[in-house]
Amino acid sequence: MGSSTDPGTWSSYEEAAEYATRNGLPGVGYALDGKGEHSGVDLDGCRDLDSGKLQPWAQVAVDFGETYTEYSPSGRGLRFFVKGQIDGRKIDAAQVEIYAGGRYLTVTGRHVPGTPTEIRDAPRTIAYLQERADQFREAQRAAAELARAAERKKTEKRGSSNDDRSSGPTEKRRRDQAPGERSFWDEVKDRALADLRAWVPNLLPTAQRTSDGGYRVSSHDLGRDLEEDLSLHPDGIKDFGIHDMGDPNDGGRTAIDIVEEYLPARTPAAAAFWLCEQLGIKPEDIGWRGDRQGPPDEPGAQATAAASLRAVPFAWCDPSAIPMREWIYGRHYVRKFVSVTVAPGGVGKSSLATAEALAMASGQGILGDLPSGAVRVWYWNGEDPMEELQRRVMATALQHDLAREDIQGRLSVNSGRDTEMVLVEQTRAGIVIAVPVVEAIKATIRENRIDVVIIDPFVSSHRVTENDNTAIDRVAKLWAKIADETGCAVELVHHARKTNGAEVTMEDGRGAVALLAAARSGRILNVMSPEEAKQAGVEQRRLHFRVDNGKANLAPPPEGTTWFKLASVSLGNGFLGLEGDSVGVVTRWKWPDPLNEVSVSDLRAAQQAVSGGRWRENVQARDWVGKAIASALQLNLENPAHKEKVKRLLQVWTDSGMFVVTAGLDANRIERSFVEVGEWAKD
């Protein structure tokens, strides 16, 4: 049998594989001798066995394609073999283990497609995974720092407790606290210390029982290159491996800290729930209050936070020196901010997002607005399969005469069916942020120098209750943080709730209003109403929609709004080149101008017709002035579009003084409003 520390048991892969086969052994291993020739990396639990999909952060590492990579024996992880000796890491919470020596890695031979078939240098891959591991380690320490500070203060206040150890640490802590002061967190930590046997062996299987009722775990078993051990004792927990390395708590830890780091648990609540399960305790029986539960050591944390607060004096400056907002497209997409588009289903919000993505990637004003330049766009659609997204993108390119070279690799498209992007989940333990997913998104944006990220729809990027303002606020601000840290613009496409035919407003965004409050720019999409269709003379109104500023108090009149129309584009993918699939593509549409194709001669003809009789202003009157104008312009008032055109022409000409409204008596001596010629038209 092979040993990672005995070179006498090592041989070539061919010899080891033949020996394993001949003797019925389960497999072979690659020995890392620590002499600098090769190193190894394990990514644990990053692959779904059923679908074969990798978690986004792991896919980033594979996409570097720098060295030989294979699937782990379980199929749930990845293994990288790297040339050279690298700095090791083992952070379970990050799902990353990096080894340079002192162990062997099993070899499966199940090569990951797209990666090299030989072991090479992998500087980008290693740097990315080391950064991920370091970020998780730092995040864990930072998250626990406030709780540890509060714990130290409690310990200092109870400095005299050394004289009373005979009563036991758990009983002493309980006695020191007045009734009503003990929290759920206190109960969990104390009960966990009082019954180490219930959970330590399950969390740390290599832990060795000590004669004084505690446990010790060697640094080697913890996968780290440190000399001292981790001690778990009824009197407390201390990591002697880091106590003299600048640790803010001198190595002191709580049971919740240990579970967070080594289970791993993503939040203190998740760690506490796991401990309760091991201890056979119901959380609600020891003070769990659900969503109203504060963080561990809440009073101490609040005191620390309060101590760090200070008012910052305003620095007067030259206003002309303040950097301008970095608008990328129109007045909606802006760097370092979140923007939101709200629309009911079937209006065309995904088609609009696709067209805008192509406009920005190409740098062309295909929808009227000219982008700030050709930028890199990442469009993620959480609902449709990749084939449908391909249809939509290519149909848009066909409609707007875009070629491959127009986008030059600046457009990235992902389907949520292949690549999930769930940032936040709501569990029994509370709101849980998927830190690996967030870090993978930021890494992808930076690696590909993405300028704009479009998330369509927003609801697919989280698993929290939409009506929960607190939960939605966390998700929205997380996207805002991603935008700020990466310098990109983030667009969130959001569904509107059903309004039973009423016009959609920004407040109709499905669920909580926290999303809208977090956005720098908000807009709404509404399909053309029957009244608007009548005014514009449009027959297929549902192919038309308008875009309004969702944060404006008053919407502009229809003729002053931005309008779009869905055009049907054939892909030509049918049998023998026939039409095949048709896809709706967004195009810019202008509200009809009543003066379009109307000349001065037409105006004079209308004035001549009106001057020959007595015409009423009221459109319901039998002698309505519009009848004379329609006759002069050869328009049919039975046609709704023609009638609307006459009404708008009359309004324009009256506003300009070509016609005037006067008061007079009709045949029945009743005062009415009449229309007469004002200033006669001139060439």
Phi first, then psi: give them for residue 588, nearest 5 degrees.
Answer: -75, 140
pTM above 0.85, yes or no: no
| pLDDT tens, residue by residue, 448-475 | 999 999 999 999 999 988 878 888 888 9
Percent of the chain with pLDDT over 90: 43
At the second CATH level, the architecture of 7-135 is 2-Layer Sandwich (3.30)
Residue of higher predicted confidence among 666 and 34: 666
Fold (CATH) for 600-677: Arc Repressor Mutant, subunit A (1.10.10)
pLDDT over 90 at 564, yes or no = yes
pLDDT over 90 at 169, yes or no = no
Q: What is the pLDDT of residue 99?
A: 82
| pLDDT tens, residue by residue, 433-448 | 888 889 999 999 999 9
Q: How confident is the model at residue 168 (pLDDT cuts 50, 70, 90)?
A: very low
Contacts (Cβ under 8 Å, ≥6 apart) of 81: 30, 38, 39, 40, 67, 68, 69, 105, 119
| pLDDT tens, residue by residue, 577-612 | 677 899 999 999 998 877 777 899 999 999 999 998
pLDDT over 90 at 566, yes or no = yes
| pLDDT tens, residue by residue, 99-134 | 876 566 778 888 999 999 999 998 889 888 888 887
The highest-confidence range among 241-250, 356-365, 532-541, by mean pLDDT, is: 356-365
Q: What is the pLDDT of residue 136?
A: 76
At the second CATH level, the architecture of 327-527 is 3-Layer(aba) Sandwich (3.40)
Q: Starting from the edge strand earliest in sequence, which strands make up the sheet with 489-495, in order?
A: 411-415, 377-381, 452-456, 489-495, 338-343, 521-527, 544-549, 562-570, 582-589
Q: Contact, 574 vs 391, CB < 8 A?
A: no
| pLDDT tens, residue by residue, 38-69 | 888 999 889 998 889 999 889 989 998 999 99
Q: How confident is the model at residue 177 (pLDDT cuts 50, 70, 90)?
A: very low
- Distance between CA atoms of 119 and 122, rounded to whole angstroms? 9
Q: How confident is the model at residue 348 (pLDDT cuts 50, 70, 90)?
A: very high
Taking all residues of the chain, what is their mean pLDDT, rounded to a whole number?
83
Residue of higher predicted confidence among 434 and 337: 337
pLDDT over 70 at 164, yes or no = no
The highest-confidence range among 281-295, 489-503, 505-519, 555-569, by mean pLDDT, is: 489-503
Q: Contact, 306 vs 430, CB < 8 A?
A: no
Q: How confident is the model at residue 301 (pLDDT cuts 50, 70, 90)?
A: very low
Residue of higher predicted confidence among 115 and 7: 115
| pLDDT tens, residue by residue, 543-562 | 999 998 876 434 455 556 89
| Domain residue spans of the chain | 7-135, 172-297, 327-527, 600-677
- Name the packing angle between helices 349-362 and 386-399 (round to 10°): 60
Nearest to 229 by CA among 257, 206, 255: 206
Contacts (Cβ under 8 Å, ≥6 apart) of 12: none
Q: How confident is the model at residue 295 (pLDDT cuts 50, 70, 90)?
A: low
Q: State how far the alpha carbon of 85 is from the alpha carbons of 78, 176, 456, in Å.
A: 19, 52, 43
Q: State how far the alpha carbon of 502 is from the alpha carbons of 541, 543, 619, in Å.
A: 15, 18, 27
Residue of higher predicted confidence among 342 and 576: 342
Alpha helices in 158-219 (DSSP H): 169-176, 184-194, 200-203
Q: What is the pLDDT of residue 297?
A: 52
pLDDT over 80 at 3, yes or no = no
pLDDT over 50 at 303, yes or no = no
Q: Tokens 């966990």 sit at which residue?
A: 192
Q: How confident is the model at residue 202 (pLDDT cuts 50, 70, 90)?
A: confident
